[in-house]
Chain A
């Protein structure tokens, strides 16, 4: 069922298509972000409404408007002398011949002819463009004002690093949870989630509502919860699989360099860290913290380290040393454990418990990721050398929050995440970046992101940085800045054929949990029961 809206009256490939609305179509029913199809002579165009306007045939009408008290005059003029106009940005075309239908939607390279009919996109149209829910495509939500299921090809999605953006409280976490479930179900990739606020593993919070279930509650056999803070996890009744401890000797000067801003270190202090590492070897931090000033005098002199730099560094290292999860020596190798789980295809959520300060998050996420990445790099290279695809490690997606702290221009080239974002899939590791301040992320990293999903943003710089390099940027800007403050998002980039504003699917009700279970999975009911029991 299609609904005719109007006809094309003007168009330019660069600026988009102007559509004059038919008289019965109310301009108030047109909202930016909705999809329309344009029936050209030889091809169909898919586009998005990006502007809505009122038009008059005679300028004098706006200068001396008629007496609107008379309903007759208003009725006559509506749709004739005064009319609604929409501006459509064409995104895709489907050619009329059989070959092009098989080829599927293509990026738009031309414009529809004059007076081509414009219809609201039907459910089938949307399905044709975005595909049906299948073994690779995951239902993430509904396009605005539509019932159609919007499906995302997750196999494609995980091939690149991706970003989820939005102001605080716009639903980034919900969206991320949905995507993580999608990846868990529909792609080969495994996830490593650095869960700063303990939102993903066991249960999460819902603004002003009951807690929602986390990944482990829904997919116990596919998700492992690691924790940095056993006590907090126990208090929250989370069944954890492993307690992560970081040995002082595992921390390298590179890790300290990233923490420069958060620990308030000087450049010279960071330089001193490298010197001291060279001097003392792996155990350098303990030496710095434990040795007396007399004992340190010599190495300081040798390394040409100034006293104030050293004190600054020592203070910083002291802060790290006081973190509860940092121990002088670790018995278990956290990285090895994480890798084991990942290789078994189990997703790992690392909870930070009460250690929610950014320095702890930066330190741990960077330290673990660096070592995991190194391992992946090694395995991939071995597989390449042996020319054996099967030896390649499982694709890994690392989820980080507060990404601008890792990926800002200052530290992006120092953190492992900068490297992962740039080197993309070379070593089967990609990022899922969650951030509320995308303008803080280095441009280079932003430009390498495959798919971006963004909830409402209202800072001009944030909007610009998210939309940088996207065709039809100005039009999308209008859509983005008009998203509802909650539960609406815009997705564009590699994994979707065209940008689409959508409402993420429901998450949080018993029915929604059931819907996430793959159809026909008999134990779904069982899982539900188990979960209910756990809540008691």
Chain B
């Protein structure tokens, strides 16, 4: 039931892992649920940049009529650029149970990363323990944006997506009971 692998882990720590996509620009959407090994992550940050950290791409499209033309006339670009994303570790599979807290071991380097299918997303989002992990992540993306994106993504897997969002919102309201401004920001991004 798993789809094809989309990326490979190139950096891993307890709280997050970074994976490089096999295809340029084929990034999973922000907030989507991905899995490597038995570890679940929520995509929280993505970037596309040159392969060598010190070398910046240069503008090449002056003579081209379309953006697509740039890549066609310089096919090496597809090899020199790479798309990477970082996922916040938000749970793991423990036998037949899904635990929504940090796994005992981080992900393995070169572990294949899969995008979770709606069934799996639905199964994972039965509880909202991951929200607290997301609130405390230290990714470059703002956590408000990340949480809202994650809930929006997950709601797509539920038949009654509004009910799911309300339930998630209520959980957030409890977690952020002393920070109404933050809560309001997230809720405003949920629809």
Contact = CB atoms under 8 A, between A and B. Distances in A.
Interface residues of A, number: 16
B187 A76 contact: yes
A72 B181 contact: no
Interface string A72-90: 1101110111000000000
A77 B183 CA distance: 10
B187 A73 contact: yes
Interface residues of B, number: 19
Contacts of A66: 184, 187
B67 to A, nearest CB: 38
B166 interface: yes
Contacts of A73: 169, 184, 187-188
Nearest to A60: B180
Given A72-B165, A72-B190, A77 B173 contact: yes
A58 B178 contact: yes
Nearest to B171: A80
Contacts of B181: 60, 64
Contact of A76 (B169, B177, B178, B179): B169
Contacts of A75: 166, 169
A76 B180 CA distance: 12
A72 B174 contact: no
B165 A61 contact: no
B162 A81 contact: no
B177 A58 contact: yes
Given A61-B180, A81-B180, A81-B183, A76 B162 contact: no
B177 A72 contact: no
A23 interface: yes
Nearest to B191: A72
Among A60, A75, A77, A81, chain B packs the most CB atoms within 10 A around the CB of A81
Given A23-B170, A76-B166, A76-B170, A57 B178 contact: yes
A479 B174 CA distance: 33
Interface string B154-188: 00000000100110011011100111110110011
A189 to B, nearest CB: 59
A58 B183 CA distance: 11
Contact of B174 (A60, A61, A80): A80
Contacts of B173: 57, 76-77, 80-81
A80 B181 CA distance: 15
Nearest to A62: B180
A70 B172 CA distance: 17
A490 to B, nearest CB: 38
Nearest to B183: A81
Contacts of A60: 180-181
Contacts of A57: 173, 177-178, 180
Chain A interface, >50% SS class: loop
Contacts of B165: 72
Contact of A79 (B162, B170, B184, B190): B170
B168 to A, nearest CB: 9
Interface in B125-181: 162, 165-166, 169-170, 172-174, 177-181
A481 to B, nearest CB: 34
A80 B168 CA distance: 11
A81 B187 CA distance: 12
Nearest to A56: B180
Contacts of B170: 23, 76, 79-80
Contacts of B188: 73
A58 B169 contact: no
A72 B187 contact: yes
A264 B187 CA distance: 76
A66 B185 CA distance: 10
Contacts of A70: 191
B155 to A, nearest CB: 12
Contacts of B183: 81
A222 to B, nearest CB: 63
B66 to A, nearest CB: 41
Contacts of A80: 169-170, 173-174, 177
A58 B179 contact: yes
B178 A72 contact: no
Nearest to A23: B170
B22 to A, nearest CB: 38
Among A58, A76, A79, chain B packs the most CB atoms within 10 A around the CB of A76
17 contacts: A57-B173, A58-B177, A60-B180, A66-B184, A72-B162, A72-B166, A72-B190, A73-B184, A73-B187, A73-B188, A75-B169, A76-B169, A76-B172, A76-B187, A80-B173, A80-B177, A81-B173
Interface of B: 162, 165-166, 169-170, 172-174, 177-181, 183-184, 187-188, 190-191
Interface of A: 23, 57-58, 60-61, 64, 66, 70, 72-73, 75-77, 79-81
Given A58-B179, A80-B170, 11 more contacts: A57-B173, A58-B178, A58-B180, A64-B181, A72-B187, A73-B169, A73-B184, A75-B169, A76-B166, A76-B187, A79-B170
